Chains A and B, each alone.
Chain A
Amino acid sequence: MGIRTLAVAAMGVALTLAVHGDAAAAESVKYKVVDESSIPKSLTGKPGDPKKGRALAINRKKGNCLACHVMPIPEQPFHGNIGTDLNGVGSRYSEGELRLRVVDPKVVNPDTIMPAFYKTAGLHRVLKKWQGKTIIGAQDVEDIIAYLKTLK
């Protein structure tokens, strides 16, 4: 909510806005959404590891991207079909656009089922043990982006 309100408020005024996670999140990293379509800057400044990113996409407790997306991960038997096929997604989007779609896809589509993987603000009745936490860490985001970029 907070982020969306902010985004709406910023529309037509300045197209660059700063969005930050809850201060309670231990690894909260500030990031900038540009033109409501992209987060060009790395969250950590450290290059992502595509191998780790691939593993995170499979991991049910982390990315679990396979819950909703078909991906070129043939050793995993069940791929969800709620979202788009991610084959070739690395050529469809820039790195910054991919980062926004993982960090907070609701900026692009407010009604999406896809979770915001790096956001703590505006959530409702989060289980105690997850309060103030993001689904994955900042470096995890970078690893996943590095992996998505390989999907040409």
Chain B
Amino acid sequence: MGKRHLGAGLAVGALLAASLAVPAGADDGIRSGYSYMTPETKGMQDDDFQNPGMIWVDDGEKLWNTVDGKAGKACATCHKDAATSMKGVATVYPKYDPKIKKVKNIEWQVNNCRTERMQAKPWKYESGQLLAMTVYIRHQSRGMPMNVSVDGDAIPFFQAGEKFYNQRRGLLDMACKHCHADNAGKNARANLLSQGQTNGFPVYRLKWQKAGSTHRRFRGCNKQVRATPYKAGSDEYMNLELYVAWRGRGLPVETPAVRN
């Protein structure tokens, strides 16, 4: 374990150093949702004392150290200090897992550790616990550039995500790309369209008055074009999450970001 995480930490550290020379993503026109926010919302995100998402970080830290399940373990029993063991982890998720031959995200991995390593019940998607833990883990990579792998075994999953992204759906017959690639920076009535990036997730959304997952956002964006959404945690959304994370390559992890 220790070695594994040290290895990953070093690799990501090297990448971080390499990309610091160039402002993250700026060159390719890749923009965080942050850059579309009002100064007030930006200020709220920037100040940890004002950022309402920090409550989820605190809750996540408590859960990290709480023993749960029949094995009598906490996350900390195995992973020790998250500031070290989880640093950089978020930058490479979602990622291909040879054991399941699929792409997994952080939420999936947390629940896998709960069921397989702790003999604890999985947390429900969008539950306070799973959100808090995901926020907490991703927060350990704050400022580090997103860098998911989309080659090798990940290729078919990446391609499925890309197809989803470009496929029209719903009664309004729109694909993700119509709003977030073709028209980013334009106004849809009062909404300023961003590139629909995921580097800040789970985000604290002012409209929701709470933190929400990437998959909750995908469901909302499906429903607003009157399309049937998929389940949070579904394979379809895992693949889509991989593709969208790749679109945001180089963007700094902002979790917990604040969004309208």
Contact = CB atoms under 8 A, between A and B. Distances in A.
Interface of A: 60, 64, 66-68, 77-82, 106, 113, 115-116, 123-128, 130, 133, 135
A7 to B, nearest CB: 16
Interface string B3-25: 00000000000000000000000
Interface stretch (B39-47, B91-99, B109-117, B170-178): B170-178
A79 B187 CA distance: 8
Contact of B172 (A77, A106, A115): A115
Please indicate which of the listed interface residues B174, B189, B228 has the most CB atoms of chain A within 10 Å of its own CB.
B189
Interface residues of B, number: 23
Interface string B164-199: 000111111110001100110011111001000000
A127 B187 contact: no
Given A125-B228, A126-B228, A115 B174 contact: yes
Contact of B168 (A80, A82, A124, A133): A124
29 contacts: A66-B189, A68-B188, A78-B187, A78-B190, A81-B187, A82-B183, A82-B186, A82-B187, A106-B173, A113-B174, A115-B173, A123-B169, A123-B171, A123-B173, A124-B170, A124-B173, A125-B222, A125-B228, A126-B169, A126-B170, A126-B171, A126-B227, A126-B228, A127-B170, A127-B227, A127-B228, A133-B171, A135-B171, A135-B172
Contacts, number: 69
A55 to B, nearest CB: 16
Nearest to A77: B190
Contact of A78 (B167, B182, B189): B189
A117 to B, nearest CB: 10
A66 B182 CA distance: 18
B227 A124 contact: yes
Please indicate which of the listed interface residues B167, B173, B226 has the most CB atoms of chain A within 10 Å of its own CB.
B173
Given A80-B187, A81-B187, A124-B169, 18 more contacts: A64-B189, A80-B188, A80-B189, A81-B186, A82-B183, A82-B193, A123-B168, A124-B170, A124-B227, A125-B169, A125-B222, A126-B169, A126-B170, A126-B171, A126-B226, A126-B227, A127-B170, A130-B226
Contact of B186 (A77, A80, A128): A80
Nearest to A70: B187
B193 to A, nearest CB: 8
Contacts of B193: 82
Dominant secondary structure of chain B at its interface with chain A: loop
Interface of B: 167-174, 178-179, 182-183, 186-190, 193, 222-223, 226-228
A79 B186 CA distance: 11
A8 to B, nearest CB: 17
B186 A124 contact: no
B223 A127 contact: yes
B173 A67 contact: no
A127 B171 contact: yes
Given A124-B227, A125-B227, A130 B188 contact: no
Nearest to A79: B189
A113 B183 contact: yes
B183 to A, nearest CB: 5
Please indicate which of the listed interface residues A60, A77, A82, A128 has the most CB atoms of chain B within 10 Å of its own CB.
A82
Which 3 pairs of residues, A with B, have the shortest CB-CB distance?
Answer: A78-B190, A113-B178, A130-B171
Contacts of B222: 125
B206 to A, nearest CB: 18
A64 B223 CA distance: 16
Nearest to A106: B173
A113 B169 contact: no
Contact of B189 (A67, A113, A127): A67
Given A78-B189, A126-B227, A116 B173 contact: yes
